[in-house]
């Protein structure tokens, strides 16, 4: 199955971001992708964290969800809508949610980001919990490629990457492909992005597809980018350093089976 990670440098304007996302989705379709994954907050990187509150949607309705549904249906793609803000339990918070749409335009799965980013080095400070309500449940989903093969996806978002116990749960549920839409800061991305992603692929013997925000944003923030596809042996198959564009690659069922057969580490788990 051919997959695409879509890298963006989202601005503050919703419509401009959706236009850029559609252009990239169309390119992914043209290049033969069956699954296209957008990055975290593909719809907007606001001036302030509180700007997310103005864009929040009720689950199942809203312009961002309508956009994803329409694009999936028109392009006949599985589309992972990186993340978008959904209504939470109170008016001061949103859920940072990743939605998977089928080629029929139906939202077939939703994952609410569990681990909320917090970072303060004296110059940059982020406290996601101030505006975002944490999710609670790991999520997997089965999709079928055009050749009839089934692929089990494990959903996660950005800061989740630092918590291997989440991916162990996804692995225990039989995931073949781990999805990690992200907006890593330039500082943390430079230090940890690739090594964490490769570790998650190696220890769980699964493909990893990580679409990211990558570049200098209108709001002054700089994100790391380096969207990539990693195979179950930990090899980086494709990567894009910065700027909007695609990362394309093929998932191979035979390669996945070979890795798990020649080094059956998943069968040797004790704890």
**DSSP per residue, 80-111:** EEEEEEEE-SSTT-EEEEEEEE-TTS-EEEEE
Q: Which residues pair with 5 in a beta bridge?
A: 37, 247
- Mean pLDDT (whole number) for 68-89: 98
Give catalytic status of residue 2 as yes or no: no
Q: Is the pTM of this model over 0.95?
A: yes
**DSSP per residue, 121-148:** -SS-EEEGGGTEE-----EEEEEE-TTS
Domain of residue 203: give its range: 2-268
Confirm if 226 and 240 have CB atoms less than 8 A apart.
Answer: yes
- Mean pLDDT (whole number) for 17-45: 98
pLDDT of residue 62: 98
Give catalytic status of residue 267 as yes or no: no
Give catalytic status of residue 158 as yes or no: yes
Catalytic residue among 34, 43, 128, 158: 158
| Tens digit of each residue's pLDDT (9 = 90 or more) over 220-249 | 999 999 999 999 999 999 999 999 999 999
CATH number for the domain that contains residue 233: 3.60.110.10
Domain count, the chain: 1
pLDDT of residue 228: 98
pLDDT of residue 125: 86
For 119, the token pair is 């970072």
122 pLDDT more than 90: no
- Mean pLDDT (whole number) for 69-77: 98
Q: d(Cα 266, Cα 271) in Å, to the nearest integer?
A: 11
126 pLDDT more than 90: no
Q: d(Cα 46, Cα 197) in Å, to the nearest integer?
A: 26
Catalytic residue among 34, 40, 57, 128: 40
**DSSP per residue, 5-29:** EEEB---S-HHHHHHHHHHHHHHHH
Supply the mean pLDDT for the chain. Answer: 97
Helices (H) and strands (E) in the chain, counts: 6, 17
| Tens digit of each residue's pLDDT (9 = 90 or more) over 129-166 | 999 999 999 999 999 999 999 999 999 999 999 999 99
Catalytic residue among 34, 43, 113, 141: 113
């Amino acid at each position: 199955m051919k997959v695409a990670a879509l890298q963006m440098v989202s601005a503050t304007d919703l419509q401009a971001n959706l236009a850029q996302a559609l252009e990239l989705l169309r390119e992914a379709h043209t290049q033969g992708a069956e699954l296209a994954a957008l990055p975290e907050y593909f719809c907007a990187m606001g001036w302030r964290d509180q700007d997310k509150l103005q864009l929040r949607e009720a689950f199942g309705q809203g312009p961002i969800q309508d956009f994803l549904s329409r694009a999936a249906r028109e392009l006949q793609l599985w589309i992972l809508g990186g993340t978008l803000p959904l209504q939470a339990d109170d008016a001061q918070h949103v859920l940072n949610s990743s939605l998977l749409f089928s080629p029929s335009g139906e939202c077939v799965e939703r994952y609410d980001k569990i681990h909320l980013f917090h970072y303060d080095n004296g110059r940059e400070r982020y406290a996601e919990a101030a505006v975002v309500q944490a999710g609670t449940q790991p999520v997997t989903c089965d999709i079928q490629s055009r050749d009839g093969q089934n692929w089990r996806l494990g959903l996660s978002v950005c800061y989740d990457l630092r918590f291997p116990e989440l991916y162990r749960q996804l692995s225990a549920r039989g995931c073949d492909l781990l999805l990690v839409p992200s907006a890593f800061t330039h500082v943390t991305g430079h230090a940890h992005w690739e090594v964490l992603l490769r570790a998650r692929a190696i220890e769980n013997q699964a493909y990893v597809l990580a679409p990211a925000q990558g570049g200098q944003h209108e709001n002054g923030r700089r994100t790391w980018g380096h969207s990539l596809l990693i195979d179950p042996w930990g090899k980086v198959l494709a990567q894009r350093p910065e700027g909007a564009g695609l990362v394309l690659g093929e998932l191979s069922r035979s390669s996945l089976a070979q890795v798990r057969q020649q080094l059956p580490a998943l069968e040797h788990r004790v704890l």
